[in-house]
């Protein structure tokens, strides 16, 4: 009996060792596919402290799973194995990994990209491993095909192939996708055939040196540690160092700092009446600034709204908007349109931009005129396309003991963006050249994952609610189902926490300017590109409606030496920002600029402004499942909306800011008058050539994960 117990302990110990080996091999391979290759391929991608916290949580989870599954495999070999050789323990441990992978697939939607091929491949591996466990002859025939590294590489490679295959046609995203697809297929075939051939040749020699096979359990954890260390060195993450240099500007040429809080609606800022005090630093800045309470975005979409902000033009003039099918994700801004950065650079300004949003790319023309522009991107832990990875169910289990919300983060934190800009400006040292700095923060954007402590600043967070869950709930809402009870409390608490976090970084920027004696003569503009919907009219996110929750945005302008302060109640547009900056700097406005400087005295006649929305590849409404073109004309206090779905609406947004009462049936005369003004304006639209934007696969995956691609 004592010997039997000793054999059982030995089997358990050997099983745990090989379980750790097999699961570490998978974890390291998954790390390569999902993180390391991305890091090497993208010049701005890097690992940040928050990323490493999640990485070590995953390492611990996979180690625990490996130990448990290895112990079970050891028991299986002890009771049912026919030889008890180390190779049997390795096969049993790999079988536990294959079974876990297969169960994860069964729990995933059958409609997921590549589900059938992954399920068939993992089932085949299970059969091969079972055959090898029962027969040495079959184990030898398969060579190293049952090795956990080979198994992991083949299955994850098949999953990656499915991702690439479903990126879209080569005409949409560039012919290089087809090259990637065939290269990956060839590599997978080479790995499968090579593992069988080499395994048959080398296995007999290795079996004669049993210490090699017996100690192979330690290779995978060691390799995983090496991969993590190498990726840390390769990531290129930089921590800016504070410098004592003062940022001067030439006399008469103030610095300009333009901050866009992506996805922030005006009624969620704690400046005037919002129930949550989420913007204390903006409240302080507002004491030295003009606050425009009725600022409207020119569109409801990142690309389009930023292009209007940079050019002072409405979307139909600058051309950067969604035009399916050839440009379903957005067209490039017209080349002949001058941008604010170009105009300021020509006048001697150092133009620099740092953005979190992936739409701030050269492919869309938004970086024109910037001497330096960066989009520092973290390596993604989870994306919409890696649904088959075991780290997803592992994350579910980890969430019962730890906060895993940052697993869903796909963009840099505002602190990373702010520090990167400060680092660039500090490296200039003392300079007489003024700067134009643009920042884009994204911490209020889907999937709503502000960092601690801002994630618990306001009640409502559900720690078990993941980005995948929110995506499913948004799809249900778009189908016309009732908004789930947990949706608004969670998303709005995290949304407001994200705004509070961005507010803190704006406060940090202001402090940095003050330390360098540059605050007074710096023009600071804080705004947003659009708002966000949280189930109103069965809509979520943005880029899918012309209503105020998407178009009414904050606009705070701190003029040099606070020359203009107080609340401004007249209606203004984001196309007014560029001409306001140019006039403040004493520069001539381009003749085609449609915006009006906010420094000009108000005109006697009320001004009409416009907004345009276009069908983008996002979740739409039941009225426009494939998207509609909608336009609005604002003639304060009225707003008239027309859409290609035939709907005409009229609202008094001074009394009904949530647009719950359509006045068009009762005020049809005013509605027709504004409709006539809108159509007269539309007759002046210029024509734009048809174009298609070529996006790399990683960019498309990011846009899909952020809700821009359905």
256, 344 contact by CB (below 8 A) = yes
Model confidence, pTM: 0.88
pLDDT tens per residue, range 240-251: 343 444 454 555
Q: Residue 98: which pLDDT band, with cuts at 50, 70 and 90?
A: very high
Query: Do residues 165 and 292 both lie within one domain?
Result: no
Contact 10, 56 (CB under 8 A): no
More confident residue, 169 or 123: 123
Specify the pLDDT at position 300. 96
CB burial of residue 14 (10 Å; 0-12, 13-18, 19+): buried
**pLDDT for 14:** 85
pLDDT score for 689 = 62
Q: What is the pLDDT of residue 1?
A: 45
Query: Position of tokens 């803190």?
Result: 504
Separation between Cα atoms, residue 428 and residue 320, nearest integer Å: 33
Residue of 607, 644, 510, 678 whose CA lies nearest to 296: 607
Least confident span in 320-324, 353-357, 383-387, 681-685: 383-387
For 355-389, the three-class secondary structure string (H helix, E strand, C coil) is ECCCCCCHHHCCCCCCCEEECCEECCCCCCCCCCC
Q: In what order do the strands lie in the sheet with 608-613?
A: 608-613, 630-635, 638-643, 648-652
Least confident of 205-219, 251-265, 644-658: 205-219
- Tell me which residue of 330, 278, 258, 266 sits closest to 551, measured CA to CA: 266
What does the pLDDT look like over 645-704, one tens digit per residue?
889 999 999 999 999 999 999 999 999 999 999 999 999 998 766 555 555 555 555 554
* Euclidean distance between CA atoms 667 and 609, whole angstroms: 20
Write 506-511 long-range contacts (CB < 8 A, 24+): 506/259, 506/281, 506/282, 506/285, 507/280, 507/281, 507/284, 508/415, 508/418, 509/257, 509/259, 509/418, 509/421, 509/422, 509/439, 510/281, 510/284, 510/285
In a domain, 40, yes or no: yes
Look at residue 144 and tell me if it is in a domain.
Answer: yes
- Answer yes or no: is 34 within a domain: yes
Q: Which of 577, 605, 633 is the last residue of a domain?
A: 605
pLDDT (tens digit, 9 = 90+) per residue, 592-636?
A: 999 999 999 877 667 899 999 999 878 777 777 677 899 999 999
Take residue 304 and report the two structure tokens written for it: 């389009």
State the pLDDT at residue 319: 94
Predicted pLDDT of residue 628 = 86
Question: Is the confidence at residue 159, as pLDDT, over 60?
Answer: yes
**Are both 223 and 272 inside the same structural domain?**
no
Q: Within its chain, how far is the Cα of 71 from the centroid?
A: 39
Domain range enclosing 483:
255-376+412-605
CA 245 to chain centre: 34
Residue where the block lists tokens 């304006």: 681
The domain tally of the chain equals 2
Residues 6+ apart with CB under 8 A from 638: 650, 651, 652, 653, 663, 670, 674
What is the structure's pLDDT at 36? 56
Cβ neighbourhood burial of 503 (10 Å; 0-12, 13-18, 19+): buried
Check whether residue 213 and residue 296 sit in a common domain.
no
C-alpha radius of gyration, the chain, whole number: 29
Ramachandran region of residue 329, left (φ > 0), alpha (ψ -120 to 50) or beta?
alpha
Residue indicated by tokens 């919002």: 274
Alpha-carbon span 150 to 156, nearest angstrom: 10
Q: What is the rounded distance in angstroms from the CA atom of residue 77 to the CA atom of residue 71?
A: 10
**Local confidence band at 114 (pLDDT 50, 70, 90 cut-offs):** confident
Residues 128 and 88 in one domain: yes
- Is 322 found in the same domain as 223? no
Residues 326 and 453 in one domain: yes
Whole-number pLDDT of residue 206: 57
Q: Cα angle vertex 685, ends 684, 691, to 5°?
A: 160
User: Which residues make Cβ contacts (< 8 Å) with residue 679, sequence separation at least 6?
Assistant: none
Pair 221, 291 in one domain: no
DSSP element (H, E) containing 350: strand 350-355
Do 128 and 268 sit in the same domain of this protein? no
- Residue 682, domain member (yes or no): no
In degrees and rounded to multiples of 5, residue 425 shows phi and psi of -70, -35
pLDDT (average), residues 366-370: 96
Q: In this structure, are residues 347 and 369 in contact, taking their beta carbons and an 8 Å threshold?
A: no
Residues 324, 601 contacting (CB under 8 angstroms): no
Mean pLDDT score, 428-433: 72
Nearest alpha-carbon partner for 556 in 514, 596, 506:
506
Sequence-distant (≥ 6) Cβ neighbours of residue 427 within 8 angstroms:
243
- Give the DSSP H/E element, type plus range, for residue 472: helix 467-478
pLDDT tens-digit series, residues 57-67: 998 999 999 99
Q: CA–CA separation, 300 vs 547, rounded Å?
A: 9
Which pLDDT value is given to residue 161?
A: 79
Where is average pLDDT lowest: 136-140, 265-269, 318-322? 136-140
Instruction: Mark whether 131 and 41 lie in a shared domain.
Output: yes
How much is the pLDDT for 419?
A: 94
Pairing of strands 350-355, 372-374: parallel
Q: Rounded mean pLDDT of the chain?
A: 85
Residue 91 counted as domain residue: yes
With beta carbons less than 8 A apart as the criterion, state whether 699 and 361 touch: yes
Residue 284: how many other CB atoms lie within 10 Å: 14
Calculate helix-pair angle for 467-478, 487-515, nearest 10 degrees. Answer: 120
**Domain limit, last residue, from 585, 605, 625:** 605
Same domain as 361, residue 289: yes
- List of residues 6+ apart from 15 with CB closer than 8 A: 70, 71, 72, 73, 74, 75, 77, 89, 92, 93
Q: How confident is the model over 453-505, as pLDDT tens digits?
A: 999 999 999 999 999 999 999 999 999 999 999 999 999 999 999 999 999 99
Contact 530, 550 (CB under 8 A): yes
- Is residue 466 domain-resident? yes
Nearest to 533 by CA among 478, 466, 458: 478
Answer yes or no: do 228 and 345 share one domain: no
Q: Is the pLDDT of residue 137 over 90?
A: no
Buried b (16+ CB within 10 A) or exposed e, 551-572: bbbbbbbbbbeeebeeebeebb
Give phi and psi for 205, each to the nearest 5: -70, -40
What does the pLDDT read at residue 198?
A: 83
Which stretch of 131-135, 149-153, 305-309, 490-494 has the lowest confidence by average pLDDT?
Answer: 131-135
229 is a domain residue = yes
Per mean pLDDT, which of 200-204, 395-399, 693-697 is the most reliable? 395-399
CATH code at position 286: 3.40.720.10
Q: What is the DSSP letter of 536?
A: G
Return the pLDDT at 548.
98
Banded pLDDT at 106 (limits 50, 70, 90): very high
Residue 147 clears pLDDT 80, i.e. is over it: yes
Q: Quick one: which of 300, 342, 364, 568 has its CA closest to 438?
A: 342
Tell me the pLDDT tens digit for each residue of 504-547.
999 999 999 999 999 999 999 999 999 999 999 999 999 999 99
CB 632 within 8 A of CB 551: yes
For residue 258, what pLDDT is reported?
98
3-state secondary structure of 618: coil
- Which residues 6+ apart lie within 8 Å of 256 measured at CB? 344, 349, 434, 435, 436, 437, 522, 523, 525, 581, 585
Please count the other Cβ atoms lying within 10 Å of the Cβ belonging to residue 264.
28
Out of 571, 588, 605, pick the residue that ends a domain.
Answer: 605
- Helix/strand/coil (H, E, C) string of 552-575? EECEEEECHHHCCCEEEEEEEEHH
Predicted confidence (pLDDT) per residue in 3-39, tens digit: 455 588 888 888 888 888 889 889 888 887 776 555 5
> Domain check: are 225 and 87 in the same one?
yes
Query: Is there a domain that residue 663 lies in?
Result: no
Task: Determine what percent of the chain is predicted with pLDDT higher than 90.
Answer: 56
Q: How confident is the model at residue 92 (pLDDT cuts 50, 70, 90)?
A: confident
Write the pLDDT tens digit of every residue in 149-158.
888 999 998 8
Question: What pLDDT shows up at residue 205?
Answer: 62
At 440 the pLDDT is 98
Measure the N-to-C terminal CA separation of the chain; round to a whole number of Å. 62
Q: Which of 595, 593, 583, 591 is nearest to 254 (CA)?
A: 583
Spatial separation of the C-alpha atoms in residues 438 and 581, rounded to whole Å: 13
Tokens of 136: 């040495």
**Of the candidates 327, 314, 320, 323, which has an alpha carbon nearest to the alpha carbon of residue 365?**
320
């Amino acid at each position: 009996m004592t010997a039997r117990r000793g054999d059982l302990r030995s089997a358990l110990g050997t099983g745990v060792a090989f379980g750790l080996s097999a699961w570490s091999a998978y974890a390291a391979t998954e790390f390569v596919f999902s993180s390391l290759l991305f890091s090497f391929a993208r010049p701005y991608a890097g690992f940040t402290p928050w990323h490493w916290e999640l990485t070590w949580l995953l390492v611990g989870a996979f180690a625990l799973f490996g130990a448990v599954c290895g112990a079970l495999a050891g028991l299986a070999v002890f009771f049912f194995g026919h030889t008890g050789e180390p190779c049997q323990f390795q096969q049993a441990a790999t079988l536990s990994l294959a079974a876990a992978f297969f169960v994860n697939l069964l729990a995933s939607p059958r409609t997921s990209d590549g589900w059938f091929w992954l399920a068939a491949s993992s089932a085949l591996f299970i059969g091969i491993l079972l055959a090898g466990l029962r027969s040495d002859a079959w184990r030898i025939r398969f060579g190293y095909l049952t090795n956990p590294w080979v198994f992991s590489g083949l299955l994850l490679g098949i999953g990656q192939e499915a991702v690439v295959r479903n990126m879209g046609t080569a005409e949409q995203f560039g012919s290089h996708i087809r090259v990637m697809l065939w290269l990956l297929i060839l590599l997978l075939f080479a790995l499968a055939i090579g593992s069988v051939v080499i395994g048959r040749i080398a296995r007999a020699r290795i079996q004669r040196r049993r210490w090699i096979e017996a100690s192979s359990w330690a290779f995978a954890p060691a390799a995983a540690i090496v991969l993590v260390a190498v990726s840390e060195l390769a990531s290129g993450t930089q921590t800016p160092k504070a410098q004592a240099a003062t940022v001067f500007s030439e006399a008469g040429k103030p610095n300009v700092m333009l901050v866009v809080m992506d996805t922030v609606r005006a009624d969620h800022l704690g400046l005037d009446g919002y129930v949550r005090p989420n913007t204390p630093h903006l409240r302080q800045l507002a004491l030295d600034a003009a606050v425009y309470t009725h600022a409207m975005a020119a569109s409801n979409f990142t690309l389009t709204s930023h292009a209007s902000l940079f050019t002072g033009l409405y979307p139909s003039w600058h051309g950067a908007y969604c035009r399916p099918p050839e440009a379903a994700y957005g067209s490039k801004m017209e080349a002949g349109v001058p941008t604010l950065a170009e105009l300021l650079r020509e006048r001697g300004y150092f133009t620099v931009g740092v953005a979190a949003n992936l739409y701030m790319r050269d492919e869309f023309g938004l970086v024109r005129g910037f001497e330096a522009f960066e989009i520092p991107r973290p390596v993604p832990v989870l994306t919409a396309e890696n649904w088959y990875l075991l780290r997803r169910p592992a994350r579910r289990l980890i969430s019962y003991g730890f906060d895993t919300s940052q697993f869903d983060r796909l963009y840099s934190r505002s602190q990373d963006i702010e520090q990167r800009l400060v680092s660039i400006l500090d490296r200039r040292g003392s300079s007489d050249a003024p700067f134009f700095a643009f920042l884009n923060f994204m911490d209020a954007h889907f999937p709503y994952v502000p960092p601690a402590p801002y994630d618990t600043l306001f009640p409502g967070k559900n720690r078990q609610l993941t980005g995948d869950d929110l995506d499913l709930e948004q799809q249900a809402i778009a189908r016309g189902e009732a908004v789930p009870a947990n949706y608004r409390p969670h998303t709005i608490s995290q949304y407001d926490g994200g705004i509070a976090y961005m507010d803190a970084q704006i406060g940090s920027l202001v402090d940095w300017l003050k330390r360098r004696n540059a605050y007074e003569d710096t023009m600071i503009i804080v705004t947003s590109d659009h708002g966000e919907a949280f189930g109103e009219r069965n809509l979520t996110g943005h880029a899918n409606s012309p209503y105020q929750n998407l178009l009414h945005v904050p606009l705070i302008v701190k003029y040099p030496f606070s020359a203009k302060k107080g609340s401004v109640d007249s209606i203004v547009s984001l196309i007014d920002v560029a001409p306001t900056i140019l006039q403040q700097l004493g520069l001539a406005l381009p003749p085609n600029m449609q915006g009006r400087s906010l420094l000009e005295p108000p005109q006697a006649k009320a001004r009409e402004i416009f907004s345009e929305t276009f069908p983008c590849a996002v979740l739409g409404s039941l009225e426009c499942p494939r998207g509609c073109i909608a336009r609005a004309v604002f003639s304060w206090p009225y707003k008239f909306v027309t859409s290609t779905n035939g709907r005409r609406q009229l609202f008094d947004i001074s009394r009904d800011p949530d647009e719950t009462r359509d006045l068009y049936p009762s005020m049809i005369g005013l509605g027709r008058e504004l409709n006539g003004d809108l159509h007269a304006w539309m007759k002046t639209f210029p024509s734009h050539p048809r174009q298609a934007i070529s996006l790399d696969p990683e960019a498309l995956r990011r846009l899909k994960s952020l809700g821009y691609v359905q």
